[in-house]
Amino acid sequence: MHGDDWICRGNPETQKAIWFNLQNGVLIGAVTLNQGREIRPIRKWIQSGKTFNAKLLTDEDIALKSL
């Protein structure tokens, strides 16, 4: 994936994280580590070309489904 930015939500050292690939703020890809239940909304966002603020995606106090 060739986006502008890769950002991480979570802590890879605890074996629980999601990496988001953004291009001009648009989510174009993601990789999850032990976060299988988060795949469904992420796939929908990628397909729809949803734009995100990187700070919101990485804030674990905000539920992904609320974005």
Domain annotation for the chain: domains and CATH numbers: 5-61 (3.30.390.30)
Q: What is the pLDDT of residues 23-65, one digit of tens each?
A: 999 999 999 999 999 999 999 999 999 999 999 999 999 999 8
Band of the pLDDT at 8, cuts 50, 70, 90?
Answer: very high
Contact call for residues 3 and 21 (beta carbons, < 8 A) = yes
Would the pLDDT of 1 be above 70?
Answer: no
What is the pLDDT, as a whole number, of residue 4?
80
pLDDT, mean of residues 18-27? 95
Rg (CA), the chain: 11
